[in-house]
Structure 1
Amino acid sequence: MSAPGIILDEPDRLIAWATKQFGLDFFSDARAIGWGTLDDIRAVAIYERWTGTDCSVHLVSDQRPGWLSRRFIAAGFTYPFVVGGLHRMTGLVPASNKRALRLNRHFGFRIEGALRRGANDGGDMIVMGMLREECPFIAKDMLHEQ
């Protein structure tokens, strides 16, 4: 079996995998990058609702040990901020998902508000955002104003 790496060239396959894992469909403008191999996808970052300055981001994984690597994190932020030229990213996290909230804060996302009773479980949906210049995972010289 080959070593896991960044998967860029199979967006439809990655989106289908993430849809199955996540249990939700994504918008038609969804783009994706993955981690693993085509025969063993471990994690997928989905970017949707592209506005020209912002997109919504979802991180979906199989939760097996080793599903997250520094290379995948860096690629996950490079794609929207450097390749896509966005100024910010937005994530929506159910308030009940403490693990995801903690992970997003660790990545550098900030809580920006709440959508009251917006989560599928009837609880609030926490709005989290990150500005390009706040991103700790990509080199600052890659973040020049575009």
Structure 2
Amino acid sequence: MKEVVYEPADEMIAWARERIDGAGFRDDARAIGLREDGAWRGVVVYDNFTTTGCWISVASDASRRWLTREFIVRSMIYPFVQLGYPRINACVSCKNAASLAFCDGFGWTQEGVMREAGSEGEDLIIFGLLRRECRWLPGRLTGKVSRHRL
């Protein structure tokens, strides 16, 4: 049975770091994971918190069926509702076709390019997702809320 979990964050972050090329996370990073039969299937890491948003990184076990609607909704509720952010950000290597398609399919908007910023000198694509654009939040949660301090 698949379950969405919030601990142990250190273990989830380490698992994600192993799967994301060039990943480095700050000490205050947080994570939400999807576990099945004691094994990690997917992890979302939230990092680089600011007053208006944070950066997210997604790692999976590379299977085709790891993602669940519950996991997606909870992964969006954390930054947009619990933290009250109006936006979240992601950075994807131009060589990572699967992650580029993932961002596009989930409604992210390409906002820029960091030329030759990747671990192998490749371009990194910057994506943003605004709370009001997030189709994964229940309708009553898409409006503006007051932000909470971290």
Determine the structure 2 residue equivalent to 1:28. 27
Provide the secondary structure at the position in 2 that maps to 1:42: strand
Measured after TM superposition, the shift of residue 75 of structure 1 is 1.1
| Per-residue Cα deviation, 1:28-76 (whole angstroms, up to 9, x for no partner) | 1210000014821110000000002110000001112321111111111
- Distance of 1:38 and 1:87 partners within structure 2: 35
SS of residue in 2 equivalent to 1:33: strand
SS of equivalent residue, structure 1 residue 81: helix
Counterpart of 1:100 in structure 2 is: 99
TM-score (norm 2): 0.90
Deviates more, 1:20-29 or 1:84-93: 20-29
* Alignment size in residue pairs: 144
Provide the residue aligned with 1:4 in structure 2.
Answer: 2
**Separation in 2, partners of 1:16, 1:91:** 19
Aligned residue in 2 for 1:59: 58
> Per-residue CA shift, 1:72-130, capped at 9, x if unaligned?
11111111101111110010001111111111011110000100111112121001000
- List, as ranges, runs of 4+ consecutive aligned residues in structure 1 with deviation greater than 4 Å: none
Aligned-pair distance for 1:137? Answer: 0.4
Between the aligned partners of 2:14 and 2:108, the Cα distance in structure 1 is 26
Q: Report the residue type matching 2:52 in the other structure.
A: T
Task: Return 17-26 or 134-143, whichever deviates more.
Answer: 17-26
Tell whether the 8 Å contact from 2:42 to 2:66 is kept in structure 1 after alignment: yes
**Quick check: 1:92–1:126 contact (8 Å CA) kept in 2?**
yes
- State how far apart, in whole Å, the 1-side matches of 2:61 and 2:138 are: 28
30-39 or 104-113: bigger deviation: 30-39
Q: Is the 8 A contact 1:7 1:38 kept in 2?
A: no
**Contact 2:31–2:45 (Cα < 8 Å) also in 1:** yes
1:32-43 paired onto structure 2 within 5 Å:
32-37=31-36, 39-43=38-42
Aligned to 1:14: 12
CA contact (8 A) 2:16 2:43 kept: yes
Q: Please, what TM-score do these two structures have when normalized by structure 1?
A: 0.92
Instruction: Mark the runs of 5 or more structure 2 residues left unpaired by the alignment.
Output: 146-150
Q: Which runs of 5+ in 1 are unaligned?
A: none
CA contact (8 A) 2:16 2:59 kept: yes
**% of aligned pairs identical?**
33
Q: Once structures 1 and 2 are overlaid, which stretch shifts more, 85-94 or 37-46?
A: 37-46
Helix, strand or coil for the counterpart of 2:33? Answer: strand
